[in-house]
Amino acid sequence: MTAININRFVRKNISELQPYISFRDQNEFANPILMDANESPFGEFNRYPDSTHKKIRNQISQLKGISPKQISVGNGSDELIDLIIKIFCEPKKDSILMMNPSFAMYGFYAAINENSVLKIQLDGNFEIQKEDFLKITTENQPKIFFICSPNNPTGNSIKDIEFYIENFNGIVVVDEAYIEFSNERSAVELIEKFPNLIVSQTFSKAWGMAGARIGIAYSSQEISQLIYTVKAPYNVNSLSLNLVSKSLENVSEFQNNLEQIIAERSWLKEEFKTIKSIEKVFPTDANFFLIQFKNVETVYQKLLENEILTSKRFPQIPNCIRINVGNREENIQLINALKNI
């Protein structure tokens, strides 16, 4: 395909912005006396964090074999989604495209930025129908297409993602919040081929650090530069940066936990076969199940009475509840509660 010049997708006011650059973070000093940022000389957390996230970008670069210049760090992938919409979508003019059902936050941030939200209805297997995609994109020319794969709340991976990137005249964001739980290839390997592609991942799910709020975007250098131009200078706090940096120094804990969650997912899948109120367990590549029940209202209420909190997906997805994998003890309690309904 011909190289896409992403500049033509960028809002004019954004392309004219000068990034705020902290002098301190741009230069190397051996032992500086810091009198430039009105900080306190006292305390353990008295200094502003590194606005360029140098350390963890380098660590992730090592881990993934991608240039640090193509890695952006956000205060959760939520912040990155919000910033990406602001960079490319003109308020009251542009629209975004997303799948239905999918992760609601794309529509939420688009609405805040006054962009309309177009939805492609997924088929019975929660796949995109290519004809629907081609029709909706030619008729409406949305600016950004959000593909969530594995998809939340359906759990399946989206097939043939490259087709959608190739045939979309705008920015494609592939949200891979659950990619670690899947055997599918990550779209990260496509960023060299497609300058209009952004792949987002997070430390909130498989890495077990939802409280730290760290999200990562992989993209062309141009897009990463735009993200660093529009973000708040100190968007990620130093406690979270340190925590994530530590876990990247020793990934064995992450790997052990991931293996356990995947093993528990298999255990639950077998146990679900014994539950009479279950109509269907949808295939999953994530750390959760979308489950269709015969008497969904009763099941949801009974679980709640047992203080087992699940995600109510009905009536949007008929008779369905989304339940994430817990540890063995929690999973046993879930199964026992379901058996008693």
Ligand X SMILES: *Cc1c(COP(=O)(O)O)cnc(C)c1O
Chain residues binding ligand X by CB under 6 A are: 76-78, 103, 148, 152, 175, 177, 202, 204-205, 210, 215
Nearer to ligand X, 72 or 77 (CB): 77
Residue nearest to ligand X (CB): 76
- In the complex, minimum distance from the CB of residue 159 to ligand X, in angstroms, rounded to a whole number: 18
- In the complex, minimum distance from the CB of residue 181 to ligand X, in angstroms, rounded to a whole number: 11
- In the complex, minimum distance from the CB of residue 79 to ligand X, in angstroms, rounded to a whole number: 7
Instruction: Give the amino acid at 176.
Output: E
Nearer to ligand X, 88 or 106 (CB): 106
**First-to-last CA distance in the chain?**
56
Nearer to ligand X, 209 or 275 (CB): 209
Q: Which tokens is 77 given?
A: 């992938």
Identify the CA nearest to 149 among candidates 187, 119, 117, 123: 187
Q: Could you give the CA distance from residue 299 to residue 97 in angstroms, rounded to a whole number? A: 33
Nearer to ligand X, 68 or 215 (CB): 215
- In the complex, minimum distance from the CB of residue 66 to ligand X, in angstroms, rounded to a whole number: 19
Yes or no: say if 115 and 107 are a contact pair by the CB < 8 Å rule.
Answer: no
What does the DSSP assignment read for 105-128? HHHHHHHHTT-EEEEEEP-TTSPP
- In the complex, minimum distance from the CB of residue 152 to ligand X, in angstroms, rounded to a whole number: 4
Yes or no: say if 296 and 277 are a contact pair by the CB < 8 Å rule.
Answer: no
- Peptide bond connecting 150 to the previous residue in cis, omega within 30 degrees of 0: yes
**DSSP state for residue 2 in the 8-state scheme:** P
Place of tokens 């909130």: 204
- In the complex, minimum distance from the CB of residue 207 to ligand X, in angstroms, rounded to a whole number: 10
- In the complex, minimum distance from the CB of residue 80 to ligand X, in angstroms, rounded to a whole number: 8
Region for 323 from its dihedrals, namely left if φ exceeds 0, alpha if ψ lies in -120 to 50, beta otherwise: beta
**DSSP state for residue 154 in the 8-state scheme:** T
- The β-bridge relationship of strands 144-148 and 311-312 is unpaired
- In the complex, minimum distance from the CB of residue 60 to ligand X, in angstroms, rounded to a whole number: 14
Neighbours of 258 (CB within 10 A): 18
Q: Could you give the CA distance from residue 314 to residue 312 in angstroms, rounded to a whole number? A: 6
Nearer to ligand X, 10 or 122 (CB): 122
Q: Could you give the CA distance from residue 233 to residue 129 in angstroms, rounded to a whole number? A: 41
- In the complex, minimum distance from the CB of residue 288 to ligand X, in angstroms, rounded to a whole number: 9
53-77 b/e (C-beta count within 10 Å ≥ 16 → b)? beebbebbeeebebebebbbbbbbb
Nearer to ligand X, 4 or 202 (CB): 202
